[in-house]
Amino acid sequence: MWQILNSLLGIPVNHADRFLLVTMIGPAAVGIYGVALSVQSRVVGLVWSAVGTLFPAASAQLRNEGASERFILITGSMMSLLAGGGYAILCVLGPDLLCLWLGESVGRQSGPLLQVLMLAAILGLPSAVIYQYLMATGRTRISTLSNVATVAVTVGASFFWIREAGLRGAAWGGLLGLALTRPLFHRWVFRQYFQGIATTTECFCLLYLNLASVLSGLILGFALHRWLLGALGLLPGTLVSLFATPVLIYAAMLAMEATIMRRRAMVLQLCSEVWRKIGRRRPQP
């Protein structure tokens, strides 16, 4: 029942942005937005399918206390890193590929939307791991209730940003919906179910520090791609970047991961201080 309700909640999340666009801007905006959204949804759907295929194995380990949690953290972290590199590549190359595919006018409008949507996909990588863990362990009610908060924030943020930023505001609404709700929910899940294998800070860092590695690769990949376009032009630069940018992105991600691992104690201490300040209780009257 909760799983069905969770799927139904996906309907307003996936269509609220287009409904707001058609009512606040016009039908043409939905067409431009749909180009970027269709590309993002296909790629993200492949990753979620892969996660769903691999992670049901966690349910078979429930009799061993902590085994499923350890499996999710380690394997999920590796998959997030691998998929995040693919998202970063599409974020960098996507707008220019759309220009070559659909023409300059459509590509220049939908390209920036695709970049924001891919940033939202990068931010949602830990959600795929946690969602599959909750489903495999029969805790779909918790996941469903958390999506209610995400739906409310996403719709509210989309309404505000469409008024402020127009077409691009629809993509920013989805990004803010994830950023303002999912990290807090994941932290709660770690505190409730993962305390037997690691601290909340260690669990959070294991899944979320991957995002820092992905963003480092994204920044360097974007810089290389812009330089190639300026030096070679749109078509030759994009063709060369198709090979050079993925290599640089994954190399930068691996270098960042190695740096984090070497300074793991310092990173954990810093994260603990941040959580301590965020979670500090107010003095009782």
38 Cβ neighbours under 8 A, 6+ residues apart:
none
The pLDDT assigned to 283 comes to 44
Task: Please write the tens of the pLDDT for every residue from 15-72.
Answer: 777 777 777 777 777 778 778 888 888 888 888 777 767 665 555 455 555 666 777 7
DSSP characters over 4-45: HHHHHHHHHHHHHHHHHHHHHT-HHHHHHHHHHHHHHHHHHH
The answer to whether residue 274 scores a pLDDT higher than 60 is: no
Between residues 92 and 100, which one has the greater pLDDT? Answer: 92
Q: What is the pLDDT of residue 56?
A: 59
Looking at per-residue pLDDT, the higher value among 19 and 172 belongs to: 172
* 222 domain-assigned: no
- Torsion region of 65: left, alpha or beta (phi above 0 gives left; psi -120 to 50 gives alpha): beta
What average pLDDT does this structure show over 71-81?
79
- With respect to residue 10, please indicate whether it lies within any of the assigned structural domains: yes
Higher pLDDT, 269 or 158: 158
How many independent structural domains does the chain possess? 1
Residue 62, both tokens = 């429930």
Give the angle 150-81-49 at the CA atoms, nearest 5°.
60
**pLDDT of res. 57:** 52
* pLDDT at residue 221, rounded to an integer: 93
CA distance 262 to 40: 34
The full 3-state SS of 54-95, as one line of letters, equals HHHHHHHHCCCCCHHHHHHHHHHHHHHHHHHHHHHHHHHHHH
The string of pLDDT tens digits covering residues 198-220 is 777 777 777 888 888 899 999 99
Both structure tokens of 85: 């590199």
C-alpha to C-alpha distance for 124 and 51, rounded to whole angstroms: 13
Is the pLDDT assigned to residue 285 strictly greater than 70? no
Kindly indicate the confidence band of residue 88, based on its pLDDT and cuts at 50, 70 and 90.
very high
Per-residue pLDDT tens for 236-256?
888 899 999 999 999 999 888
Q: Which two tokens stand for residue 75?
A: 């394997």
Residue 280 lies in a domain: no
pLDDT of residue 245: 92
pTM of the entire structure? 0.81
- Kindly report the backbone phi and psi dihedral angles of residue 194, in degrees, each rounded to the nearest multiple of 5, phi listed first: -115, 5
| Residues near 266 by beta carbon (within 8 Å), at least 6 away in sequence | none
- Considering only residues 232 and 58, tell me which one the structure prediction assigns the higher pLDDT: 232
pLDDT for 174-206, tens place per residue?
A: 888 888 888 888 888 888 888 777 777 777 777
Q: Residue 66 region, left (φ>0) first, then alpha (ψ -120 to 50), else beta?
A: left
How many Å apart are CA 196 and CA 193, to the nearest integer?
8
pLDDT of 276 > 70? The answer is no
For 8, residues 6+ apart whose C-beta sits below 8 A from its C-beta are none
The answer to the question of residue 161 being in a domain is yes
Q: Between these two residues, 276 and 100, which has the higher pLDDT value?
A: 100
Percent of the chain at pLDDT exceeding 70: 84
- Domain presence at residue 203: no
What is the rounded average pLDDT of the residues 99-111?
A: 79
Residue 199 corresponds to which amino acid? Answer: T
Query: Cα separation of 101 and 92, whole Å?
Result: 15
Q: Does residue 221 fall inside a structural domain?
A: no
Is 193 inside any structural domain?
yes
Average predicted confidence (pLDDT) for the chain: 79
pLDDT at 218: 93
246, part of any domain:
no
Q: What local confidence, expressed as pLDDT, does residue 224 receive?
A: 93
What is the residue range of 90's domain? 2-197
- Lookup: tokens for 51: 């996660």
